[in-house]
Structure 1
Amino acid sequence: MTQFIFGNSLKDKLNRWPVVRNTIWKIEAIVLTVLLRILSWLPVAKASSIGAYLGRALGTRIAKHQMVITNLSLAFPEKSVPEIEQLAGDVWANGGAVVAEFANIKKICRSDRLKIAVAGYIEGFNRKDRPVILVTAHFSNWEIAAAAAGRMVQPLSAPFTPPNNPYLGRMLSAHRQALGVNLLARDVSIRPLFKQIAGGHSIAFIMDQRVDSGKPVPFMGMDKMTTLVPARLGLRFNCEIVPVRAERLSPANYLITFYPPVVADDDDAGEEERALQVTTKINQLFESWIRERPQEWFCASRRWPKIRKNKSLS
């Protein structure tokens, strides 16, 4: 969290003083635990609204705010500086609501606050012997999207990157048990995912991040280094590749839509080319969601490898 708030430079400094680093890590975990506990005592919608207020108030004052500004400026070059500033504040408000809703995730997932729609026929939802690949983005509330996915397919696994703070990681993992998802610490190798699918597990991916080991795929008018792993797995194991969208209807109320499976344009092309075709379609779908509701796209990490200065922001 310190790295998120103050930037990468602090991470290097803290690593030189392990005792100080561990103390800060413990304080972070305690503060977030207390905050989530307080929010869990409040009515769900009220907690979400408070989280949105705090997210806007605090997010616009931390180091990562400039990255949100940069990403939005690149994605929406037609918008003015004041429009980008307003939109960035809205992004932080959504992020704050996500944190607050995390405190009440069990209540949300086990009530009519979570609505699910399936757009079209998805064979893997009706056959336990056919795993599916689920793909989504950091959009609206991706934690709720994972919970909805856990309702539709079981067993379900999802790779994730644990936080640097191990105390925080343990606390977050305990809360995420309500999702019904088996979390896999992200590995540089694809082999653990092979084993999961071979064992009958569906796999869920969040794939709007920049992945330097990926391939350049168009996204928001520019090439973004994008992972092809979800598409490769789907093609290799003949799994349907299903996009999942979360939409915030009101504070702590969601519609989760499972879209029809994405398929390659050319069945005769090689596996790598088909994986690229599928990933391009996924990025296009994500882009359409973001353009429709840009305030719900959480983009606090760098999305493109080279930053073009479209605007002068101060």
Structure 2
Amino acid sequence: MADFRSFRYRLEELGLRTLVGGLRPLSLDASSNLGAKLMSRLGPLAGKPSQVALDNLRRVFPEDEARRLLPAIWANLGRVVFEYPHLRRLADDPERIQIAGAENFDHVKSLGKGCVFVAAHLGNWELFPMVMDRLGGHILLLYRAPNNPHVRDLVQRLRPCRGVTYIAKSHAGMRDVMRHLSKGGYIGFLTDHRYSDTMPVDLLGGQARIAHTAALLARRFGAPIVCTRMERTSGAHFRATLATPIEPQKGDATHDVLQVLTQQVASQFEVWIKERPEQWFWMQKLWAKGDNN
């Protein structure tokens, strides 16, 4: 079994290296457009992921609108994947990313309490470290590492390194995050994954169980929470939005307090998802059976 897993890991690495090698000679725009074109056609044929996406879309939209959105959702995902080999090139081009809400970062900075930045899988969620670098901040970013260590290492080499330190999710990683935040540092992570052991919050017409880690950390250390979005404006051009900070009082993290803070995060995400539904990653089961309205 171990030998087969090792072979599979190497095969996955070879496939990714081949893709990256084939895309690097292309321009950023050409690579992004190719990803959109391919995935808008192939993605809807992807069986279970597309069915999950359609089921989720039907929660919010009529049937015809849900089916119209599905290829566009796959197109955005294709762009995200095909932009990976060009992330560092994108980081060096300030014209690619507009920033809205920079004053909210200035406010957080003036408080001197650190900050918990949270994002959803919207637009190209890989780009926020570039925004922090432009704003003069440095963020410790907690991420879910792929099981394949060879793929993990290759993906990490593709990511820009200015303005960010990447920490894989683990007990040791969480200790690093807490230590950094306690010293007034900035931390960030994606928070729209499903976690079965968290309290439900209202999201897109149902009860979703998303991570309450941001609320837990913010309450414990008295740090504000800032929801962020990397919206795709056209092609490989983006607008980063930093929302108004959510400023909790430092103290005991009671269940009610955590739920209120997590609901505030979910409500902001819902607004953004409804504005640009084609840019969210709908292929995940945030709502379990029995959690629906």
The TM-score with structure 2 as length reference comes to: 0.89
2: distance between equivalents of 1:269 and 1:201? 19
Counterpart CA distance in 2 for 1:51 and 1:117 is 27
Contact 1:51–1:100, Cα closer than 8 Å, also in 2 = yes
The residue aligned with 1:159 is: 142
SS of 2:14's equivalent in the other structure is helix
Instruction: Say if 2:75 is the partner of 1:93.
Output: yes
Distance 1:121 1:30, change over 3 A: same
1:157-236 equivalent positions in 2, closer than 5 A: 157-178=140-161, 180-187=163-170, 190-236=174-220
1:216 is displaced (CA, Å) by 0.7
How far residue 214 of structure 1 moved from its aligned partner, in angstroms, is: 1.5
Using a 3 Å threshold, how does the CA distance of structure 1 residues 125 and 153 change in structure 2: closer, same or farther?
farther
Aligned length: 289
Distance in 2 between the 1:167 and 1:268 partners? 41
For residue 58 of structure 2, the aligned residue among 68, 73, 84 is: 73
CA deviations 1:5-40 (Å, max 9, x no partner) are xxxxxxxxxxxx332322222122122122123222
Q: Which amino acid aligns with 1:130?
A: K
Distance in 1 between residues matched to 2:161 and 2:251, nearest whole Å = 41
Q: Which residue number corresponds to residue 83 of structure 1?
A: 65
User: Does structure 1 residue 147 correspond to structure 2 residue 130?
Assistant: yes
- Name the SS of the counterpart of 1:60 in structure 2: helix
Q: What amino acid maps onto 2:159 in structure 1?
A: R
Is contact 2:33–2:79 with CA below 8 Å preserved after alignment? yes
Q: Which moved more, 1:126-135 or 1:55-64?
A: 126-135
Looking at structure 1, the residues matched to 19 and 45 of structure 2 have their Cα atoms a distance apart, in angstroms, of 19
Q: What is the root-mean-square deviation in Å for CA atoms of aligned residues?
A: 2.5
Ranges in structure 2 where 5+ consecutive residues have no aligned partner: none
Whole-angstrom distance in 1 between the partners of 2:106 and 2:290: 41
Does residue 115 (structure 1) correspond to residue 98 (structure 2)? The answer is: yes
Change (3 A) 1:119 1:176: closer
Q: Which range moved further: 178-187 or 218-227?
A: 178-187
Percent of counterpart pairs with the same letter?
27
Aligned counterparts of 2:156 and 2:251: Cα–Cα separation in 1: 41
What SS class does the counterpart of residue 158 from structure 1 fall into? strand
TM-score using structure 1 length: 0.83
TM superposition shift of 1:198: 2.5
Q: CA deviation at 1:307?
A: 6.8
Distance 1:28-1:260 versus aligned 2 partners, 3 A rule: same
Tell me the equivalent position of 2:10: 26
CA distance in 2, matches of 1:146, 1:219: 26
Unaligned runs of 5+ in 1: 1-16
CA contact (8 A) 2:40 2:72 kept: yes
Distance in 1 of aligned mates of 2:252 and 2:183: 26
Deviation at 1:270, TM superposition (A): 6.3
TM-aligned CA distance change 1:250 to 1:25, over 3 Å: same
Matching residue's letter, 1:219: L
Q: Kindly tell me: are residues 161 and 269 of structure 1, through their superposed partners in 2, closer, same or farther at Cα, counting changes over 3 Å?
A: closer
